[in-house]
Chain A
Amino acid sequence: MRRFKKLEFIAGILLTGTMVLLVMFSGLLFPDGGEAMDLSARLARPGVDWAHILGTDPIGRDVLARVIVGGRISLLVGVFSVTGAMVVGTIMGLVAGYYGKFWDTILMRWADVQLALPFILVAMTFTAILGADLWNLIVFMAISQWVQYARVVRGSVLTLRDREFVQSARSFGVRDWNILLHHLLPNVFGPVLILVTLNVANNILLESSLTFLGLGIDPIIPSWGGMLADGRSYMQTAWWISVFPGLAIMATVLGLNLLGDWLRDFLDPTAKV
């Protein structure tokens, strides 16, 4: 059991670490940023030419280079949007759950309005008004997802608020922010962390869905989601264009979630069976 956990942790570190390192040093490995094209070598099969070991795409660009460089945009979108959503959402949820009444009503009604608007439609409308742009995408995602954190945190705080340890802390005169920070925050960490690990992955995929709907960013700059979306029409004739970025996404998601699980166990001593 212990050994298995350790294995998971090592696998998570290895997968995530490798992906992050590759992405960080992609500029050194592929100075052209995966943008060099050669129309005469378009749709080359993988494993035939050493120069294009994973094949080429319809523009004749190297799939290996694009998969590795493509992690930059994908991780950027995933990490930044989730960080924004998590920070805002957790604070809102703590405040709403702990203080209740007025704040709870305001925040939760605001959250309800957002929850009632399907994200894709909002994104489409705002892309129509503002144009597709990397930072617009990140901000859209953060704005639309903070609600998830707020609701989950609030839900947990509501059940925790009246528990003995919070009540006793309060009766000892511990200040509100202290209770929030030291007693409630650690206890909502588990569900939030799960959401984070899921949403980083989810947002990498969301970028892909937006490209599928024709709302993505500059397709010259490689991104996993964009490659997956652009490769879909070649699925039956050139599978490698979308399968390799798909595998890159899988490796990253798997790594992140393994780490997330391990972290959860580490932070939550009661869960040790």
Chain B
Amino acid sequence: MLGFLIRRVLQAAFVVLVVTLLVAWAVRLSGDPAVMLTQGAGSVTAKDLANIRTGLGLDRPFSAQYLGFLGGMLTGDMGRSFIGGTSVGLLIRHALPLTILLAVVSLALSIAASIPLGIHAAVKRGGTADQVIRILSLVGLSFPNFWLGLMLVLIFGINLGWLPPSGAGEVSGIVMPAATLAIILTATNVRLVRSTMLDTLSQQYIMVARSKGLKQRVVLYRHALRNCAIPLVTYIGLQFGGLIGGVVVVERVFNWPGMGSLAFDAVSSRDYPVLQAVVTVLAALIVTVNLAVDVAYGLLDPRIRSE
């Protein structure tokens, strides 16, 4: 088990390293920040632009810039934003907890809703409850997240006035963005729980357990759920990356000042230091979650750990 862990941690570190190289390379193909900074300026000469580039350290060769960034990430000094010179570390310290909070709350909401609903649908397969749950999950899948978010704002933020339309200023501000993400996650999770549960329920040992007269609840939540945990956990691990992607859009709709908003602004303004740092931190986060999933895998199914 320990060897398995060490190997996986090394692999994860390697993945993050590849990501840093990719992002540092790609962002430098995407345009010149000096031009962006001087937008709206009177007459900008080539010399002015060169001055600004030197000021930003962009006159150095790529390898020097990349190693500087990598060294900075390792020592915890992430450099300064091109826009206004704010410390990148400070920006991330503000944004990261908010994004993690949003992701965790929406994931938790979704799991809490989809396990009982999915199991119920599987057990009552073909019945009214199953149909209703399935149709509702389909409806949840039929809207883009920004549109769903704007609808919630319209109903609960403006018409009813129950919740703040945007921002992380009040505790209640998390309700709508988390719900927007959770509704979409739940729609997929319910279906996944239902279908894996159906597979499991049709397997012999469950039938045996049932025929032995074990209580329905025990069969479902102890034996069957454990078996369908593998695909569910895989999928939640997979979803985490997608969730972070969805967070970019939802954070923008709800003006949630998290990593997604930060990244979005950084891409738009070619703020290399911020974008590099944000993507690296997000990648590390996603990789860690996937690592945790793999370890959970090993715990749930010893056959996988052994190889």
Interface set, chain A 203-260, CB cutoff 8 A to B = 205-206, 208-209, 212-213, 225, 228-229, 232, 235-236, 242, 246, 249-250, 253-254, 257
Question: Which residues of B (145-177) have their CB < 8 Å from a CB of A?
Answer: 145-147, 150-151, 154
**Structural contact, B202 and A270, CB atoms closer than 8 A:** yes
Mark contacts of B183-205 with chain A using CB atoms, 8 A cut-off: 1 yes-contact digit, 0 otherwise. Answer: 00000100110010011001000
User: Across the interface, do B30 and A125 meet the contact criterion of CB distance under 8 Å?
Assistant: yes
Partner among B27, B131, B143, B264 whose Cβ is within 8 Å of the Cβ of A205: B143
Flag the segment in B15-23, B62-70, B208-216 that touches A: B15-23
Tell me, rounded to whole Å, the shortest Cβ–Cβ distance linking B127 to chain A: 9
A191 touches B142 (CB 8 A): no
Q: Does B303 contact A (CB under 8 A)?
A: yes
Determine the chain A residues whose CB is within 8 A of the CB of B188 once the complex forms.
198
Which residues of chain A are within 8 angstroms of B151 by Cβ–Cβ distance?
235
A238 to B123, CA, bound (A): 44
Pairwise interchain contact A129-B287, C-beta atoms closer than 8 A: no
Contacts A152-B231, A212-B146, A228-B147 given; indicate if A116 touches B19 (C-beta within 8 A).
yes
Q: Is the CB of A128 within 8 A of B30?
A: yes
User: Residues of B contacting A158 with CB < 8 Å?
Assistant: 301, 303-304
A125, A159, A213: the one contacting B27 at CB < 8 Å is: A125
Q: Is the CB of B12 within 8 A of A112?
A: yes
- Bound CA–CA A119/B303 (angstroms): 32
Instruction: State the main secondary structure of chain B at its contact with A.
Output: helix
A115: CB under 8 A from chain B?
Answer: yes
Q: Which of B29, B31, B144, B198 contacts A212 (CB 8 A)?
A: B144
Chain B residues numbered 244-281 whose CB sits less than 8 Å from any CB in chain A:
244-249, 252, 263-264, 267, 279
A100/B286 contact (C-beta < 8 A), A128-B267, A232-B150, A235-B150 known: no
Contact of B230 among A147, A159, A190 (CB under 8 A): A159
24 contacts between A and B (CB under 8 A): A101-B307, A109-B15, A112-B11, A112-B287, A112-B290, A113-B15, A119-B245, A121-B263, A125-B26, A128-B30, A152-B231, A155-B234, A156-B231, A198-B188, A201-B142, A228-B144, A229-B144, A235-B150, A242-B147, A246-B143, A250-B139, A254-B135, A257-B141, A273-B198
Residue positions of B touching A, CB distance < 8 A: 11-12, 14-16, 18-19, 22-23, 26-27, 29-31, 125-126, 131, 134-135, 138-139, 141-147, 150-151, 154, 188, 191-192, 195, 198-199, 202, 230-231, 234-235, 238, 241-242, 244-249, 252, 263-264, 267, 279, 282-284, 286-287, 290, 301, 303-304, 307
Taking Cβ atoms with an 8 Å cutoff, the residues of A that contact B are 1, 4-5, 100-101, 105, 109, 112-113, 115-121, 124-126, 128-129, 147-148, 151-152, 155-156, 158-159, 162, 190-191, 194, 198, 201-202, 205-206, 208-209, 212-213, 225, 228-229, 232, 235-236, 242, 246, 249-250, 253-254, 257, 261, 264, 270-271, 273
